[in-house]
Structure 1
Amino acid sequence: MLDNIMTGTIVIEDLEIGMTRCLQKLITDTDIELFAQVSTDRNPVHLDDDYARDTIFEGRIAHGMLTAGLISAVIGEQLPGHGTVYLGQTLKFMAPVRPGDMVHAEVEVTAIDHSRRRVTLATHCKVGEIVVLKGEATVLAPSRKFD
């Protein structure tokens, strides 16, 4: 379940500092199982209740990169959107995401280099008021000049 999605493209000529876009997604057991299959990361902290209960997390958690993938979805679908090329991403995992959590992923334009078509984006994910992931992305934005 994804909420608040406005898909499309915002070309670099129309981007502005401070522009934001977001989405929300409920993380399900199925999401975690599918991510484990696709990524081949079958760490039992994600998949085994008994094992995970005895970890520092005291229960199962979603893969960090599953949560980070929501940032990618905002960038690739909304800001800048279709045609964007990811160049880099820093991530700091601040708190676990658990099955049943509603994750709010948000991206904000912090810098624009028109001559190189580079855009810097502050990125973060929250569960409620808790920041679970934060970082910064650099992307090559689409341009009207290359339609």
Structure 2
Amino acid sequence: MLGKKRKLGKKIDELNVGDTYETSCEVKDKDLLIYLGLTDDANPLYLQHDYASRTPFERPIVPSIMLQGMITSAVSMHLPGPGSHITYQEIQYPVPVYHYETLHLLFKIEAIDEEENLVHLQVKGTNASDEEVMSGKLHVIAPYEPDSLNSISLENFY
């Protein structure tokens, strides 16, 4: 890790109210199985077709926390990007997401608090039928410019 340069996301002074980021995510069996294995979540609504078919959902649905992971990934990798951190989130899931669906996510900067290095984001997710499957708001700390290693390692010489 050391010595390998990695690009940070946009710092607070590089962001503007109204900036957006859009992406699409496909829900795959592989991702569902990894999630269920990591969390030891045995909810039959997520994987068992025979159980889910006898519910109002009619077929297995995607766990909402897995959808949250798609949101987190987009924030961590794109807006603001690497080095950012979500401190608050309020997400609603009005319509279930089913296996194999492709979701379209739209992120928009609603406000910026430069003093706190905080970005207020709005997120909206839709499925292929353009139904809103998730919406909400996030507060995200933008990446900080790290202190120079040279200034720290040579501080005794100044």
Normalization by structure 1: what TM-score? 0.89
| Distance change in 2, residues 1:48/1:145 (3 Å) | closer
What are the Cα deviations for residues 37-89 of structure 1, in whole angstroms up to 9, with x where unaligned? 11222200001000000111011111111112111111000000000011011
Match runs of 1:6-25 below 5 Å: 9-25=9-25
What CA distance in whole angstroms lies between the structure 2 residues aligned with 1:145 and 1:8?
Answer: 10
AA in 2 matched with 1:130: E
Identity over aligned pairs, percent: 26
The offset of 1:143, in angstroms, is 3.6
Q: Which residue of 2 aligns with 1:54?
A: 54
What CA distance in whole angstroms lies between the structure 2 residues aligned with 1:103 and 1:64?
Answer: 13
What CA distance in whole angstroms lies between the structure 2 residues aligned with 1:30 and 1:89?
Answer: 26
AA in 1 matched with 2:85: V
Q: Which residue of 1 aligns with 2:35?
A: 35
The offset of 1:125, in angstroms, is 1.3
Ranges in structure 1 where 5+ consecutive residues have no aligned partner: 1-6
Ranges in structure 2 where 5+ consecutive residues have no aligned partner: 1-6, 149-158
| Distance change in 2, residues 1:139/1:146 (3 Å) | farther
AA in 2 matched with 1:96: P
What CA distance in whole angstroms lies between the structure 2 residues aligned with 1:85 and 1:146?
Answer: 18
What CA distance in whole angstroms lies between the structure 2 residues aligned with 1:109 and 1:47?
Answer: 35
| Distance change in 2, residues 1:8/1:96 (3 Å) | farther
Q: Which residue of 2 aligns with 1:119?
A: 119
Counterpart secondary structure, 1:116 = coil
**Higher radius of gyration, 1 or 2:** 2
RMSD after superposition: 1.6
What CA distance in whole angstroms lies between the structure 2 residues aligned with 1:13 and 1:144?
Answer: 11
| Structure (1/2) with the larger strand percentage | 1
Q: Which residue of 1 aligns with 2:83?
A: 83
AA in 2 matched with 1:111: A
Contact 1:8–1:78 (CA<8 Å) still a contact in 2?
no
Contact 2:120–2:137 (CA<8 Å) still a contact in 1?
yes
Normalization by structure 2: what TM-score? 0.83
What CA distance in whole angstroms lies between the structure 1 residues aligned with 2:147 and 2:61?
Answer: 42
Q: Size of the alignment, in residue pairs?
A: 141
What CA distance in whole angstroms lies between the structure 1 residues aligned with 2:112 and 2:38?
Answer: 34
What are the Cα deviations for residues 86-114 of structure 1, in whole angstroms up to 9, with x where unaligned? 10110111111111100112211001000
Contact 1:74–1:106 (CA<8 Å) still a contact in 2?
no
